[in-house]
Structure 1
Amino acid sequence: MSLISLKDRKWSITESIIIILLALVPLFVTFPYRVNIFLSWEGAYRLSSGQIPYKDFGTPLGYGYWIIPAIFFKIFGPELITLVKAQVFINIIAGFAFRSILKSLDLPKGARLLSVLVFVLSYSFFNFWPWYNHTVIVYELVGISFLLKAFFSNSRQRSYAWMAGAAFFVFLSIFTKQDGGGMAFMLCLVLLAYNCFQTKRWIDFPVFIGAFILIAVFMIKPLMPGFAYWFNHGQPPHSSRLAMNDFTDEIMGGSDWIKGYLVLVVLCLVAKVRQWNTWLLQRRQVLFALLTLGILGEAAIFQVTSYTPPDNNIFFHSFAFAFIATYLCELLKVDISRPKAMLGATLLVLFWWSGTWWKYVGRFADRLFPTHEVADAHNPNHENVVNRRNFMLNTDTIDIPVSSWVFSSLKPFRKVYMPESTVKGMDRVLALPIVKEKRENIKVLNMTELTPLAAAMPYKLETGPDYPLWYHLGVGMFNRQLATFKQKVQEGHYDLVLFEYAPNLNNFFPFALREELKKDYHQVDTFYAPRRPVNAIIEVYVK
């Protein structure tokens, strides 16, 4: 083995260690119950049980988001902690896809390693749970990595195989979330158009489009006709979430990181490029610039179309960093791959993204430098002490700090802690006479975030082409489904109903159904939902 190939291998091994090691961290810790993780669990549970989307349940999204969690449910069982294991795998895929993109663009090894570190710290490390706004980008990254491999493949047959793989993962991206996936498709078309123009291989364009259409038909046609109703492409009863002033307000009134990166990218290009006609012939450099600018544009739009949680779009940091670091090192004649330079740059990156890892180290720092207790603000016999930890008085009397949450003995909730009220409330539900008498034949409507109760009780989930996967009125279900639920409640169809009342969330669980339950069922219990802050309660109803 030559000395050069040995050095290359060391760089690759280091990058792989960074990706895998940091992805494995969640396997060694426990977690509080995460808001909205119920959707990840139920979708994966239904798929792993053999249910078919749009025939056994409806969802405004495609089922790409649940594929990996469902496979992990089949292997490890339908526990919440299995979702964490699935996310570990997703994070590893994301890291290697990003690395593959940088390799195809032939980035210098030092800039590539630092960019991989930025990607892991800024986008993967703190993502412990699967969520569609993350998975959609991961599929996009895999699709782009395959597309770039197709561009630079020496074999025409292999190039077409990579292109078909790119079309498949871009379709999965759309089949996970329409906004991010749609932008991934358009970005790939831009890259493909430029590559076809430079190589004069115009056949690549219809090959990619044709592969995408064939895959889409193969994946969608068996799901009809329910797919046409459920999958949101702007048709009634779905409503558009797009408003021009939302984009202008967010982009012009905020988006400081995105706009700052854009300015730096443009400055780097202006500083380096002397003859634009010559530069436009440099395929890798132009593709790198188009990809970076495309990712920044996608992030600017994605933050508006997928507005919760607010950090959905931070995948742009690593692409912008990779571009700026590569150009600056070349312009300044800095060899970032030298050991001392790499060490210094790594420490700077770790300092930059310290917020993602300090919460773990901070636990030990708190023990070494404990905070002194402050005097009671209402006690006149002690000197009042005001500092940054207590200048605001917490008047929320129902807030339950995570430090007081406890674990449940129910297997699906293993290694996940929740408010004690939630844990005891679930135990009381399982101890109800109706639950013990009817066992698996019990008819349950569970409109709460405690979807793993389906495996803990257990009970059989309702199915049907008009049955929603989740119950957010106007998002996951509509008036037609609400009318069906109201009729079933009026007829006493369910033996047990669990309803989560979240007054601050707009019909997260439909308020109208709660009003119907109050008239036709008996409320026998109530307890807190597993949220922080506690802004929702779970009500238990029986016939």
Structure 2
Amino acid sequence: MSPSGSSLYQKRSIFTVIESLIIIGLALVPLFTSFPYRVNIFLSWEGAYRMSIGQMPYKDFGLPLGYGFWIIPALFFKLFGPQLISLVKAQVFINIMAGFAFRSILKRLEVAPGIRTLSVLVFVLSYSFFNFWPWYNHTVIVYELVGLAFLFQFITRPGQKVRFLYLLLAALFVFLSIFTKQDGGGLALLLCLALLLYNSLHEKRPWDIPLFLVFLGAVALAFIGPLLPHGFSYWFNHGQPPHNSRLAVTDFAEEILGASQWIKFYLVLMVLCLVPALRDIKALWLNKQAMLFLLLTLGILAEAALFQVTSYTPPDNNIFFHSFAFAFLCSHFSVLQHIDLGRFRTFVAGALLVLLWWSGVFWKYIDRVFARVFPAPVEMAKASPDAENVVSRRNFMLSTDTTKDVPTSEWIFSRLPEFKKIYMPPSTVQGMERILALPVVKEKQDSIKVLNMTELTPLAHAMPFRLETGEDYPLWYHLGVGMFNRQLAAFTEKVRTHHYDLVLYEYAPGLNNFFPFALRAELKQHYRQVDDFLAPRRPTNAVIEVYVRP
């Protein structure tokens, strides 16, 4: 190897090390901290717990999604136990997997090492670092990224027999994406088909798409076949009226044209970058690497624009597009401006600019220290007649919210191992202790029949009690989302006949039937309420009610 070649190899190795440190180092941060109870994490816990103890989706519980999301959390429950903190460990693994999948895609597109490393930094800061808990709207994209990584291995390694294994693995992870969330997974499939279509036309090889679809069908059959006898189709929108589609032209137009500033901004910059190339369309078409990069970036932007409408909560579901757009634009602008981001000083300057751009991600952690060193002045919205009233950006608006919120600074830890390193409102912790001390819990022990319609699903292991099973039993109780009228009727009948020894019901008046309101009325009539305490939400605007047989 020549001296110049050795230097280039050493430089690439350094960037590889930096990328690995960024991906792994930032992913490991959550292992060294504690967390407030996460809203909606109850759903991740129960699905993972049920699967980890051998329950079969759709046979033992139903859900209007595939179970792809729960595979990794269930594995981590097997390895580390059914504690909430095991979900954090699972997300660490998911974030590492996502980071290396993104890196692999850029590497197969031959993005320059310096630009690739900066793009990895953008990806981790913008999409992974703050995701401490597993959630299906995030996992669906991670599976897509892994599928794309294998797909690019297939496309860019034309002479290797192992490439067909890459295509099979791409089909597997695209299916897992679909089997995690239908909207994101469906968009992932369309993007893969678009990339394969270009590759087929460019290489004059018509069998790429049919072979991919055969692999995808085989994987789907292997996963879905065993589920078909157990009401699988019911949970996928067949036979549970009413069912409302989320696809509305007005919603898409409102979100894409009325918002989506970053997506449209990136699109404008991409058009400007492509002006020279568009003067010779044929040359652009024949440049396989450039076309794949262009199709991928445009596809990701289009997916992000649609995904923010079909999966509208939380509002930052779709921010995976930043890193792809950054990699594309940075690659083009560095050539136009003759900037070598492989040089140490230039790379450091670029990294500092990226850190400034995404400072909001880590500022909330720095702010805790900053606030102690430079405390904000105490301003008085209402002062005595002899004092000066001060109006500033901190108090120019008066809150009309009458909710008595408990700030997280006052939350405490529970003694229960299932809630290790997770802090909650004191009312919640004390309420759980009172539940465990109830005579009916102590007398019946593990034979107790419990309906737990709350976010405290780990109580199933802490108490413990046997979870109900059945093809018609929902994994969660959001009416019209996780369960339907048929399930509500079944629960109503069980409450009226005093089927349960203990019922825990979470009353969240600000959430539309998050736990069915109609069932609360039945509980008021047929059961006796013995306690209530705050639910572990932020803000603390929901109450958990405890009912026993009269």
Give the corresponding residue for 2:108: 104
CA separation of 1:265/1:433 partners in 2, compared to 1, >3 Å: closer, same or farther?
Answer: same
2:94 counterpart of 1:80? no
Sort the Cα spacing of 1:379 and 1:439 in 2 relative to 1 into closer, same or farther, 3 A: farther
Which stretch of the first structure deviates more once superposed, 202-211 or 286-295?
A: 202-211
Deviates more, 1:387-396 or 1:229-238: 229-238
Q: Distance in 1 between matches of 2:383 and 2:65?
A: 52
CA distance in structure 1 between the partners assigned to 2:488 and 2:99 by the alignment: 42
Question: Equivalent residue for 2:44?
Answer: 40
Cα offset for 1:238? Answer: 3.5
Query: Partner of 2:274: helix, strand, or coil?
Result: helix
2:520 and 2:243 map into 1 onto residues whose CA distance is 23
| Inter-partner Cα distance in structure 2 for 1:56 and 1:66 | 15
SS at match of 1:538: strand
Q: Using the TM superposition, give the Cα deviation of residue 10 of structure 1 relative to its aligned residue in structure 2, in angstroms.
A: 1.2
Show the counterpart of 1:255.
260
Distance (Å, rounded) in 2 between the aligned partners of 1:394 and 1:483:
40
* Cα 1:24–1:306 shift into 2, 3 Å: same
Give the match for residue 389 of structure 1. Answer: 394
Partner of 1:502: 508
The aligned residue for residue 9 of structure 1 is: 13
Compared CA separation, residues 233 and 353, structure 1 to 2 (3 A): farther
What is the rounded CA distance, in whole Å, between the counterparts of 1:407 and 1:368 in structure 2? Answer: 27
Q: What SS class does the counterpart of residue 224 from structure 1 fall into?
A: helix
Counterpart CA distance in 1 for 2:278 and 2:258 is 31
Query: Any conservation in 2 of the 1:442–1:459 contact (CA below 8 Å)?
Result: yes
Aligned length: 543
Are residues 1:458 and 2:459 paired? no
Q: CA deviation at 1:4?
A: 2.7
For 1:189 and 1:235, the matched residues in 2 are separated by 32
Alignment of 1:126-525 (within 5 A): 126-225=130-229, 226-232=231-237, 236-375=241-380, 377-395=382-400, 396-525=402-531
Structure-2 residue corresponding to 1:530: 536
Shift in Å at residue 367 of structure 1? 1.4
- In structure 2, how many angstroms separate the alpha carbons of the residues matched to 1:358 and 1:178? 34
User: Cα distance, 1:394 vs. partner?
Assistant: 4.0
How many Å separate the matches in 2 of 1:209 and 1:91?
28
Percent identical: 65
CA distance in 1, matches of 2:405, 2:222: 49
Residues 405 and 417 in structure 1, CA contact (< 8 A), matched pair in contact too: yes
Shift of 1:208: 0.5
Quick check: 1:80–1:413 contact (8 Å CA) kept in 2?
yes
Contact 2:449–2:499 (8 Å) recurs in 1: yes
Shift of 1:236: 4.8
Root-mean-square deviation over aligned CA pairs: 1.4
Calculate the TM-score normalised by the size of structure 1: 0.98
Corresponding letter in the other structure for 1:416: I
| Aligned-partner residue type, residue 212 of structure 1 | L
CA distance in 1, matches of 2:61, 2:293: 41
**Residue deviations 1:328-380 (CA, integer Å, cap 9, x gap):** 00111111111111111111000000000111111111111112333461533
Deviates more, 1:336-345 or 1:439-448: 336-345
Deviation per residue, 1:7-50 (Å, 9 max, x gap): 22111111111100011111111111111010000010001010
The whole-number CA distance in structure 2 between the counterparts of 1:217 and 1:238 is: 26
Q: 2:240–2:486: 8 Å Cα contact kept in structure 1?
A: no
Residue in 1 aligned with 2:128? 124
AA aligned to 1:445 is L
Q: Distance in 1 between matches of 2:520 and 2:470?
A: 22
For residues 474 and 452 of structure 1, what CA distance do their matches in structure 2 show? 24
Letter in 1 for 2:295: L
Specify which of 55, 61, 75 is matched with residue 65 of structure 2: 61
CA distance in 1, matches of 2:237, 2:274: 39
Partner SS, residue 544 of structure 2: strand
Q: 2:76 & 2:346 partners in 1: Cα distance?
A: 41
State how far apart, in whole Å, the 2-side matches of 1:430 and 1:235 are.
36
Q: What per-residue deviation string (whole Å, max 9, x for no partner) do you get for residues 227-285 of structure 1?
A: 11113489855431111100001111111111111111111111344411011001111
**SS of residue matched to 1:500:** strand
- Note the C-alpha offset of 1:383: 2.3
Q: In the superposition, relative to structure 1, how do residues 45 and 431 fare at CA in structure 2: closer, same or farther (>3 Å)?
A: same
Distance 2:238 2:174 in 1: 17
User: 231-240 vs 13-22, which deviates more?
Assistant: 231-240
Contact 2:177 2:184 in 1 (8 A): yes
How far off its partner does 1:381 sit? Answer: 4.1
Aligned residue identity for 2:217: I
Letter of the structure 2 residue corresponding to residue 250 of structure 1: E
- What per-residue deviation string (whole Å, max 9, x for no partner) do you get for residues 295-339 of structure 1? 000000000000000000000000011100000001111111111
Runs (4+) off by over 4 Å: 232-237
- Partner Cα distance (1:531, 1:44) in 2: 21
Alpha-carbon contact 1:160-1:207 (below 8 Å) kept:
no
CA contact (8 A) 1:35 1:530 kept: yes
What amino acid does structure 2 have at the position aligned with 1:295?
Answer: I
1:495-535 deviation per Cα after TM superposition (whole angstroms, max 9, x unaligned)? 00000011111110001111111110000001111111122
The Cα of 1:415 is off from its aligned counterpart by: 0.6
Checking the alignment, whether the CA contact within 8 Å between 2:277 and 2:284 is kept in structure 1 is no
Aligned 8 A contact 1:238 1:475 in 2: no
What's the secondary structure of 1:280's corresponding residue?
helix
TM-score after normalising by structure 2: 0.97
Alignment partners' CA distance in 1, 2:419 and 2:236: 30
Quick one: which amino acid aligns to residue 384 of structure 1?
N
Local SS of the residue matching 2:533? strand
Kindly state the Cα deviation for residue 390 of structure 1 after the two structures are TM-superposed: 2.4
**What SS class does the counterpart of residue 157 from structure 1 fall into?**
coil
In structure 2, the CA distance between the partners of 1:24 and 1:234, relative to structure 1 (3 Å rule), is: farther
Q: 2-side partners of 1:380 and 1:448: how far apart?
A: 48
Letter in 2 for 1:14: I
Structure 1 CA distance for aligned equivalents of residues 269 and 441 of structure 2: 62
C-alpha contact 1:44 1:67 (8 A) present in aligned 2: yes
